[in-house]
Structure 1
């Protein structure tokens, strides 16, 4: 189990390290403190290797690497004016980029003014051991069941760059058959497919398609051997489970052809038209 940036809070809740109430309190406090204590900034996703993006950031004072999603997927962050200048450079070089719809330079030094106050909030929070193996996107480290995150983990998580690439490498080491993204669209499953092309990565939701993706993901997990609880899927519907053969179909056609036409029992009588 892993999460991306603030999604790590949701993943830690699912892993048993946080109660729902504490998870909501931490994420809302984190956002409020970032708004109140941190200066406005901007973030831009760039199609560059990590080293190249770091060199680009070094040549623009105030710009920092904020996220590494994959081999050619980085996010840089800093003051809005600096990000504007680097976008102009990217335009000149023909390098694809996308401005992110945020107003702070998350996971950079710009977050430092809120860290002490956030640490006070964390000190009042009761953390419990994770129940399952957990991979942090802070550094890609794998934590075994029984590990308990402390306040220091979340402070570093708010300040340091996201290393989702390292988390995916650790995920690959688990040799998973299927990965399931719990989120509103396909962002993380798309990143996983690019980094782990041999692993099937499924979204649980796909924007604009209703529950189609969710049911498709559940079916794929069932076929992969997962023990899916179908009752919540069928609750309030007329749907029901039906048994199917457990063996693999051979895909051979057995359609019955058209029956032979019987001979004409009444031969046509020739008539004299005269």
Structure 2
């Protein structure tokens, strides 16, 4: 019997038009979007389907939009009788993973991640922070470089896959580190189009405020294991989940380690759910022996369901 994990994307996977074909074909999704609009107090559907892109990419809009897109597809998979054995999300995607695992309700998750996005935007002066993807160096090599930077804050933000690590910090710090990485032999250092130094020490103030918001959100023990970004280990206990969500804001996303831990736990099929194919691309660089799917539209949904019915007969 196959073991299936659902993966949920984070910020950067959004695109104008995401999820629109599901909305147009399924009344249940239309109802879900209407409920989201009422919970958020703004027309999230309009932003998702028609933009403009600049409005959708504002962090406090992007975050609930991505969670909603993921949960719409997840609800359709449930209707088809497809359930995961465990879940994982990339940064923001961890909230979708928790909803899918039964720890968090969608109507609580949407305003929570909107607040999270707003706090992340406000945590550090706009334009003063930066992030960059470093290609071709491993974690140890990157840490060696970062220990030599004393005057600025630069941290490892994402450990995505072999040879791809994201750094985050002050604009000057990321600039200085990028030069040193190239001297050390990095293939490329790519600045990311983000509004702040996410998953760095500069988000600590945001995490303290966010913790008070999280205290008002009812969390339950997860029904299935969720692999946490901070530890790359399975978590079920609601108190541990809450603690890790706070730490996640200023800690590196250990995505590659999480995937390897899940494979060790027996997962042989990963399904990316929501928008984009970023996680699928990372999976192929981590372990090409596992099955990987991305469900982003009706065609990819139908393709996966057909595969599932052949591989997992009733």
Measured against aligned partners, the alpha-carbon deviations of 1:119-158 in whole angstroms (never above 9, x if no partner) come to: 11011111012111221122111135xx324532211111
What pairs with 1:64-75 in structure 2 (closer than 5 Å)? 64-75=155-166
- Higher Cα radius of gyration: 1
State whether residues 177 and 224 of structure 1, in contact with CA within 8 Å, keep that contact through their aligned partners in structure 2: no
- Secondary structure at the counterpart of residue 190 of structure 1: helix
SS of aligned partner of 1:159: coil
Could you tell me how far 1:91 is from its partner in structure 2?
A: 4.8
> 1:25 corresponds to which residue?
111
Does the Cα contact within 8 Å between 1:178 and 1:221 map onto a contact in 2?
no
Contiguous gaps of at least 5 residues in structure 1: 228-274
Q: Which residue does the alignment assign to 2:11?
A: none
Tell me if 1:53 matches 2:53: no
Corresponding position of 1:260: none
Match of 2:92 in 1: 6
Asked whether the equivalents of residues 159 and 165 of structure 2 are also in contact (C-alpha less than 8 Å), the reply is yes
Higher deviation after alignment, 89-98 or 9-18 = 89-98
Q: So what's the TM-score if we normalise by structure 2?
A: 0.66
Q: Residue 218 of structure 1 corresponds to which residue in structure 2?
A: 305
Once the two structures are TM-superposed, the CA of residue 83 in structure 1 deviates from its matched residue by 1.8
Give 3-state SS (helix, strand or coil) of 1:172's partner. Answer: helix
How far is 1:70 from its partner? 2.0
Distance, in Å, in 1 between the alignment partners of 2:189 and 2:178 is 8
RCO higher in 1 or 2 (8 Å CA, sep ≥ 6)? 2
More helix by share: 2
C-alpha spacing 1:172/1:94, structure 2 compared with 1 (3 Å): closer
Matched residue, 2:195: 103
Tell me if structure 1 keeps the 8 A contact 2:233–2:261.
yes
Question: Does the CA contact (< 8 Å) of 1:134 and 1:143 recur in 2?
Answer: yes
The yes-or-no answer on 1:151 pairing with 2:242 is: yes
Where 1:168 maps in the other structure, the secondary structure is helix
Give 1:174 shift: 2.4
RMSD over aligned Cα atoms: 1.9
2:287 counterpart of 1:196: yes
Residue 89 of structure 1, CA deviation: 4.0
SS in 2 for 1:156: helix
Structure 1 length-normalised TM: 0.75
